[in-house]
Amino acid sequence: MLLISPSILSADYGNLERELRRLTEAGADMVHIDVMDGHFVPNITLGAPVIRCIRGVTKLPFDVHLMISEPLSHLPDFVETGADRITFHVESESDTGETVDAILASGRQAGLAVKPATPIETVYPYLDKLAMVLVMTVEPGFGGQSFMADMMPKIEKLRDECARRGITDLDIQVDGGITAQTIPIAAKAGANVFVSGSALFANADLGAAIARFKALAAG
């Protein structure tokens, strides 16, 4: 299933309630929420208190991407906000297996993210427990970067590994530089969940933009 998860990193933070209602009405499948701590990545965004406040605005699943150094120690905060899917980085300081297990024990879906320089094989030991793997197609930390097409072989290798092991329900997400021009490339490689920020929010008709992205991904 092809899913669009618009990133509110590109939304109007002064009007988040309005922006989330726009996403709901436009037919978004999830809301991608980037959490940055200024340590794991060189930027700071919103945190658990803001997510908690906006949870009541929409029934869309919250796709929370933790770009933080110690996701395990902060996990209870994000579980309490009502996050549906919690993705953290395999490069973080927390023990990967322990963090995955803690997310699952909380009743949430677990995702693992890899930076561009990280081999995709690092997620293989956890595939049976994951709902999603996020392949970063830019260096994490800032929006508006250019899509890295050389990440596509990582997606292909991951799809092949899932097929080899009979894993049919793993979502592969791409985040970074996803536009009308790049979404078909990522979809062809095997991605099925697409994070896009400025390329979507720049459109006055957000519903038409999301529908177009899905059509382009479907080929």
Positions marked active-site: 34, 175
The 8 Å CB, 24+ separation contacts for 69-78 are 69/37, 69/39, 69/40, 69/93, 70/94, 71/99, 72/98, 72/99, 72/102, 74/48, 75/99, 75/102, 75/103, 75/106, 76/106, 77/47, 77/48, 78/35, 78/48, 78/51
Residue 179 vs residues 14, 130, 136, 148, 214: alpha-carbon distances, Å: 24, 26, 14, 12, 11
Measured between alpha carbons, how far is 79 from 16 in angstroms, rounded to an integer? 20
Cβ-based neighbour number of residue 202 at 10 Å: 11
Give residue 219's Cα distance to chain centre: 22
The DSSP symbol for 107 reads: T
> Tokens 């009743």 correspond to what residue?
107
DSSP-assigned beta bridge partners for residue 37: 44
The CA angle 72-20-102, to the nearest 5 degrees, is 15
